[in-house]
Amino acid sequence: MKRPLRPEEHRLWSVVAATLHPLPGRHTPAAPADPVEAPPPATALAPKGKAPPGKQPPKTAPPGPGPAPRPPSQAPWPGPELIEPNRHHRIVRERDPIAARLDLHGLTYDAARARLDGFLLQAWHEGHRAVLVITGKGSRGTGDGTLRRAAPEWLAAPHLRSIVAGVSEAHRRHGGGGALYVALKRKARG
């Protein structure tokens, strides 16, 4: 059940809605009725026992806040598969060699995503089986870098599922928390 907007939320929404234009072929919906202004807060508490005439105490507790909003970092699709432990071990020991590396340092969000997509498609077409994607750890190594958080979501995107076999955090000698191993699927023969 949705809770009604508070007066200050309604005023804010009105300001935002006034800046919007409907899509072509759509009409502007009728404006909702102004919300009833909340009564001013009582300065003195009513004595216990009887409610003032015309006002009855609520029979149930007021509704609490709704469910917590989903964090923006969650993608609408599931995260990438993890690399199988044996394969991860082979990549770390370089028995499955890292065929190519991509460093995303200094790129904007959109440029990094485009570069990652192109890099993975090229590596897959060249028959590479394992690549290293360096995202960086974020500012001052706090681990909250934008590219570091976004890369696993990008790798789980539907257009890359057919080539990405799995993803895992790189070993310390390959960049640790600021890099990812990406295992690529084999190309279909024929």
Task: Please give the full DSSP string across 153-183, using - where no structure is assigned.
Answer: HHHTSGGGTTTEEEEEEPPGGGTGGGEEEEE
Sign of CA dihedral 187, 133, 176, 75: negative
Q: What is the pLDDT of residues 78-137, one digit of tens each?
A: 567 888 888 888 888 888 888 999 999 888 999 999 999 999 999 999 999 999 999 887
Supply the pLDDT for residue 73: 47
Task: Note whether 112 and 104 are within 8 A (CB).
Answer: yes
Give the confidence band of 49 by pLDDT, cuts at 50, 70, 90.
Answer: low
Instruction: Give the CATH number of domain 85-184; options: 3.40.830.10, 3.40.50.150, 3.10.20.30, 3.30.1370.110.
Output: 3.30.1370.110
Query: Position 164: which residue type?
Result: V
Matching residue, tokens 């955090």: 169
